[in-house]
Amino acid sequence: MLAIMEYTTDILEDRFGTSGGSGILTDGTYYWRGDAADYVETYGVSPGDAFIRHVDDRNGEPPPLTQDDVIDIDDYFMHLRRERLA
């Protein structure tokens, strides 16, 4: 959803690095950083039961996002950024 070209490194034990790790991914309901999967895989960190049920209910397939959905999501993140900078 939000592409950021930053290379991030594991903040816990420096066991991995992720290109675009601070980028934001979404399935239209949940949002997560690009490096989140690396923490799940490396440390067994759980994204939470609600998220796992959500993914399982969709057989791992994200719902399609319309152009209007993408614009709304972008507007949301830009609103959060403006609030943080104010």
Domain ranges of the chain: 7-85
Buried b (16+ CB within 10 A) or exposed e, 12-38: eeeebebebbebbbbbeeeebbbbeeb
Task: Write out pLDDT tens, residues 17-60.
Answer: 999 899 888 887 888 999 999 999 999 999 999 999 999 998 87
Contact 31, 48 (CB under 8 A): no
Q: Which region holds residue 66: left if phi is over 0, alpha if psi is between -120 and 50, else beta?
A: beta
Q: What is the pLDDT of residue 65?
A: 83
Contact 35, 22 (CB under 8 A): yes
State the pLDDT confidence band at 7, using cuts at 50, 70 and 90: very high
Q: What is the pLDDT of residue 26?
A: 84
State the pLDDT confidence band at 2, using cuts at 50, 70 and 90: low
